[in-house]
Amino acid sequence: MKRRAAMFRISFGHTIMLVIRPSGSRKGGQAAASHTGNKERAKLARTKLEIAMAEKDDHHHHDEHGSELSEMQLRVRALETVLTEKGYIDPSALDAIIEAYETKVGPHIGARVIAKAWSDPAFKRALLDNATEAVLALGIINRVGDHLIAVENTPKLHNMIVCTLCSCYPWEVLGLPPVWYKSAPYRSRAVNDPRGVLADFGVTLPADTNIRVWDSTAETRFIVLPMRPAGAEGWDEEKLASLVTRDSMIGTGFAKLPSEVA
Q: For 185-222, give the DSSP string.
A: HHHHHHHH-HHHHHHHTT----TT-EEEEEE--SSEEE
Q: How many CB atoms lie within 10 A of CB 234?
A: 5
Catalytic member of 23, 67, 119, 166: 166
Q: Tell me, what DSSP letter sits at residue 227?
A: P
Nearest to 115 by CA among 228, 224, 246: 228
CB of 148 to Fe ion, least distance (A): 15
- For the question of residue 216 being annotated catalytic, the response is no
163 touches Fe ion by CB under 5 A? yes
d(CA 105, CA 16): 23
Q: Does 250 bind Fe ion (CB under 5 A)?
A: no
Q: How far is the CB of 216 from Fe ion (least distance, A)?
A: 6
Using rule CB under 5 A, residue 135 touches Fe ion: no
In whole angstroms, give the CA distance from residue 126 to residue 105. 22
Beta carbon of residue 135, minimum distance to Fe ion (angstroms, whole number):
20
How many residues bind to Fe ion according to rule CB under 5 A? 5
Q: What is the CA radius of gyration of the chain?
A: 22
Question: Is-catalytic flag, 242?
Answer: no
Is residue 92 part of the annotated active site? The answer reads no
Nearer to Fe ion, 141 or 166 (CB): 166
In angstroms, give the least distance from the CB of 113 to Fe ion: 22
Among 135, 160, 168, 250, binds Fe ion (CB under 5 A): 168
Residues near Fe ion (CB under 5 A) are: 163, 165-168
Positions annotated as catalytic residues are: 163, 166-168
